[in-house]
Structure 1
């Protein structure tokens, strides 16, 4: 039988309210839609379900029988739906993120998620490449840049500003760095950060407002931004780093920001990439909301 299952709860609403108009109000749909649904159901069953005139409506014997049989079925459907919804915060969720974010942002607070959702088991991978969510069977990726596969959504979480850093001792040994130009600054860079989805080209703008591409032709390329930070903190030259990762060492006097007059663009953006909202599971919503809350707190300095 070619049922339109959407017609069944509409018929139940008519039977329980005793009115097409009241059924429409209860369901939040047009009265004409209720009438069409009833007519379609009577047509497919080839029976009359209601006796009605301008002032009177009641179920026929066939209508009474259908209502009696449908009510427990629809109640069971509601029960199953409620059970599925309650179980949706149970099970695994697979996440990929960068090493720096896992260490600096998530590690101090991730236990709060497990306390909040004790029945969700996190499976977190640390990656430096742009993860393939489909092939790697990931529910969520926290990555640099917004590149995403078709059918997925990229939500901005944070924006990293890049500044020049070295140790106070290195600055004292190289006084020309007190007021450097871009050419001089680049000569002191031995290690710098490069990673998939990192901006392909960074630019420096000095007081002359001329934008110049940054090129570290003789420097070593490293994917681990925290390793670079620690090497610079040990006195190995100058480099560009996200300010947020250097803030604690600056407060401790182990690093200093230099060349504030040389602006670096563009900022590095962090995105959460996941399946489109229409297919998003409650587990993904839970971890996404938590990650968003965490990054906002961290990058705002709270």
Structure 2
């Protein structure tokens, strides 16, 4: 077993932010993915890199030494990308992103892309899933960043970068927090806040239907922050992905998450483009940036029956 750039990036983010939860938010991945990467890295190196406590993650002496080496490796990789590919590229890339991706995944990458690909102008638009699919097929945009688990048009290819698990969101001190995992049947007895943006309600209906149950919906909203506030204030519960989870509402109230026993699909995020599209150098550089961060992607072509 060996480590790769993903292990390094997860380690560095945790070292800089001091908490796995904050590193996961920064990286737009699940906490379990960060925890697993750090454990794998420690196993490869044969040393403990962090002291764990209720206050967070503190670097050990070995961790501090490895952090310096990690910075050197990342810097060399980024320099290599800029000198060998990015600096030579000058052009325009027309792309689009869905609402959730625009708000909770792309911002940190837009900043890094501006530095990695300084001479490529990104013309970015926010679109619904259907509008994004139409724009790709008609050639209005080159590439998209979207919830690949929602793509239905068979003329579009997908490349999933991350899979963000969906968990139950609960207010602090909720009685279900005493359970390590809960069932959809238990959740169905609770008042439920239903998110509707990016077809979240349609996805929810599918896994509820498979269990032949329905949630007790008290509110439908397109605002993730409204869901967060309602849950944190004890008005209901909700099932949403780790990518959009934040532990505090706008009012400063805490909310928690717990795992679900039943089969609830993850929210897949990645790149989408017209099937059989010939990649331009700008598209290739854009895709290479994400591949360098997230490793080998999962490829696919959308099929309507897979919508979940």
Q: How does the TM-score come out when normalised to structure 1?
A: 0.54
For the pair 1:163 / 2:140, whether they are aligned, the reply is: no
Q: Which residue of 1 aligns with 2:145?
A: 142
Q: Equivalents in 2 of 1:149, 1:185: separation in Å?
A: 33
Q: Equivalents in 2 of 1:293, 1:155: separation in Å?
A: 14
Q: Which residue of 2 aligns with 1:265?
A: 264
Say whether the 8 Å CA contact 2:104–2:243 is kept in structure 1.
no
Q: Equivalents in 2 of 1:276, 1:98: separation in Å?
A: 19
Q: How does the TM-score come out when normalised to structure 2?
A: 0.53
1:213-292 paired onto structure 2 within 5 Å: 213-216=212-215, 218-246=217-245, 249=248, 254-258=254-258, 260=259, 262-276=261-275, 279-292=278-291
Q: Which residue of 2 aligns with 1:55?
A: none
Distance 1:265 1:256, change over 3 A: same
Q: Equivalents in 2 of 1:87, 1:243: separation in Å?
A: 35
Q: Equivalents in 2 of 1:134, 1:149: separation in Å?
A: 9
Q: Which residue of 2 aligns with 1:53?
A: none
Q: Which residue of 2 aligns with 1:185?
A: 187
Consecutive unaligned residues of structure 1, counting only runs of 5 or more, are 1-84, 206-210, 297-302
Distance 1:274 1:176, change over 3 A: closer
How many angstroms does 1:255 deviate by?
1.7
Q: Which residue of 1 aligns with 2:96?
A: 96
Consecutive unaligned residues of structure 2, counting only runs of 5 or more, are 1-84, 296-308
Say whether the 8 Å CA contact 1:168–1:255 is kept in structure 2.
yes
Q: Equivalents in 2 of 1:95, 1:295: separation in Å?
A: 20
SS of alignment partner, residue 169 of structure 2: strand
Q: Equivalents in 2 of 1:112, 1:181: separation in Å?
A: 40
Work out which of the two has the higher radius of gyration on C-alpha atoms and give 1 or 2.
1
SS of alignment partner, residue 123 of structure 2: strand
SS of alignment partner, residue 114 of structure 1: helix
- Which 10-residue stretch deviates more, 131-140 or 86-95? 86-95
Q: Which residue of 2 aligns with 1:125?
A: 125
Distance 1:219 1:294, change over 3 A: farther
How many angstroms does 1:261 deviate by?
5.4
RMSD: 3.8
How many angstroms does 1:219 deviate by?
3.6
SS of alignment partner, residue 280 of structure 1: coil
Q: Equivalents in 2 of 1:137, 1:113: separation in Å?
A: 22
SS of alignment partner, residue 199 of structure 2: coil
Q: Equivalents in 1 of 2:142, 2:225: separation in Å?
A: 26
For the pair 1:109 / 2:133, whether they are aligned, the reply is: no
How many angstroms does 1:283 deviate by?
0.8
Distance 1:227 1:274, change over 3 A: farther
Q: Equivalents in 1 of 2:211, 2:152: separation in Å?
A: 29
How many angstroms does 1:248 deviate by?
5.1
- State the Cα deviation string for residues 204-251 of structure 1 (Å, max 9, x = none): 69xxxxx6145235343334445423442344321101123326559x
Say whether the 8 Å CA contact 1:167–1:232 is kept in structure 2.
yes
